[in-house]
Amino acid sequence: MPSRARLTIDLAAVSDNWRSLRDRAAHGRCAGVVKADGYGLGADRVGKALKEAGCRQFFVAQTDEAVALRRALPEAEIFVLGGLLAEDLPEFQEFSLTPVLNDPGQVLLWLAAGNGRPAALHVDTGMNRLGLRMREMLDLLEDPAIRQGPWRLLLSHLACADEPDHPLNDRQRADFSLLRARLPQVPASLANSSGIFLGEGWHGDLLRPGIALYGGNPTPGRPNPMKPTVRVQVPVLQVRQADAGETVGYAAAHVTTRPTRIATVSYGYADGYIRAASGKGAGWLDGHKLPVLGRISMDLMTLDATDVPEGLLHPGTLIDLIGPDRSLDEAAADAGTIPYELLTNLGRRAERIYRV
Ligand SMILES: *Cc1c(COP(=O)(O)O)cnc(C)c1O
């Protein structure tokens, strides 16, 4: 009898998703974003699967992630989005990592200490998070030594790509185009998953999808063009019957309004089911919805199984949080969050099963 949640990851579907995005690319090139341990699915396994599919460029957030990924992908180009911190220089050299330079200091540091190895330039066009400011970039480009630096990629990141009508998309593209014209020999990359679907005008030379590889819908509000890649199943530990008017869970946040069958499952916020899903999320069993009752605990949560037919539910029964009855995007919406947050947390304590 399983006592642990099960995360089943369809690597073939991840690869199919990558190929379908690459086929859309205006210039045929598509990277894979595998930060946060491949959005929680295992950066090494996802990375190897993408490599088999033909992916050659990978993005992670942190130097440690890049070092770990290097072991799985000895040949790949690994970009570190977090930038170049001076104390990480030895790792960048030893593991042939490619920094994404985020401010003028990092640019100068790499020119001085990068041994001529390639780096990416990140210019901010609307996030105000990381990246050189437009002005800083234009000033740097006054210097011919900087214009002729070892630049592998010019990149920027879209703030509102999942809202196709948002005026910022056009503004960011226009600013980015202006810089591309100043560095015509350097490949450019602007589009995350949703950016790919804004149209070829946003593609540049290299696509940078993350969530769409993992089956998240890059076109919210429209049908999902991606294949699902994950199933999350959580085991029932106990089934109990409560009368109307009883309390359930911490803070007695739920009071039953009818005789209620409660399924207690081995899954809680320490497993990555965010506590904010208390009273909102749901499990699914053979098409039946089992709403979360009351607060989510650290290791447990309680589901309303009253409407599940007798005989379907026992200790050990696996309830889907994400699966045939509920997509990643729907499950995230139920829980009051976005697919990114749900996905990057869900696998923390789960048994991972890979399908290839
Ligand atoms: C996370 C990230 C991506 C991937 O974004 P998705 O929306 O998951 O496709 C691309 N570029 C940068 C800079 C990122 O931080």
| Ligand 1 centroid to residue 32 C-alpha, Å | 9
Summarised one tens digit per residue, pLDDT across range 211-256 is 999 999 999 999 999 999 999 999 999 999 999 999 999 999 999 9
Residue 255: per-residue pLDDT: 98
Cβ(33) – ligand 1 distance below 6 Å: yes
Residue 13: per-residue pLDDT: 98
| Ligand 1 centroid to residue 209 C-alpha, Å | 6
Residue 347: how many other CB atoms lie within 10 Å: 23
Residue 1: per-residue pLDDT: 72
DSSP codes, 316-343: TPEEEEEBTTB-HHHHHHHTTS-HHHHH
**Which mutation among 128, 192, 217, 343 tests ligand 1's pocket best, with the greatest number of atoms within 8 A of CB?**
192
Contact 296, 273 (CB under 8 A): yes
Residue 300 is encoded by which pair of tokens?
A: 């447990």
Residues 6+ apart with CB under 8 A from 184: none
Contact 154, 187 (CB under 8 A): yes
Polymer length of the chain:
356
Known active-site residue 214: no
CA angle (212 as vertex; 74, 72 as ends), nearest 5: 15
| Ligand 1 centroid to residue 208 C-alpha, Å | 6
Q: What is the largest CA-CA distance in the chain?
A: 78
Pick the residue whose CA is nearest to atom 15 on ligand 1.
81
Ligand 1 atom, smallest distance to 213 CA: 9
Known active-site residue 35: yes
Residue 81: per-residue pLDDT: 98
**Which mutation among 101, 157, 196, 207 tests ligand 1's pocket best, with the greatest number of atoms within 8 A of CB?**
157
Catalytic residue of the set 35, 48, 269, 340: 35
Beta bridge partners of 275: none
Residue 347: per-residue pLDDT: 86
Please report which helix (H) or strand (E) contains residue 153, including its range. strand 151-155
| Ligand 1 centroid to residue 319 C-alpha, Å | 31
Summarised one tens digit per residue, pLDDT across range 83-134 is 999 999 999 999 999 999 999 999 999 999 999 999 999 999 999 999 999 9
SS3 assignment, position 172: helix
Ligand 1 atom, smallest distance to 208 CA: 10
Residue 158: per-residue pLDDT: 98
| Ligand 1 centroid to residue 68 C-alpha, Å | 19
- Nearest-angstrom CA–CA distance, 257 and 247: 10
Cβ(101) – ligand 1 distance below 6 Å: no
**Could you say which residues of the chain have pLDDT below 50?**
none
In one letter, which amino acid is 12?
A
Percent share of the chain, pLDDT over 90: 97
Residue 207: per-residue pLDDT: 98
Ligand 1 atom, smallest distance to 61 CA: 15
Q: What is the mean pLDDT of the chain?
A: 97
Contact 132, 140 (CB under 8 A): yes
Ligand 1 atom, smallest distance to 100 CA: 13
For the CA atoms of the chain, what is the radius of gyration? Answer: 23
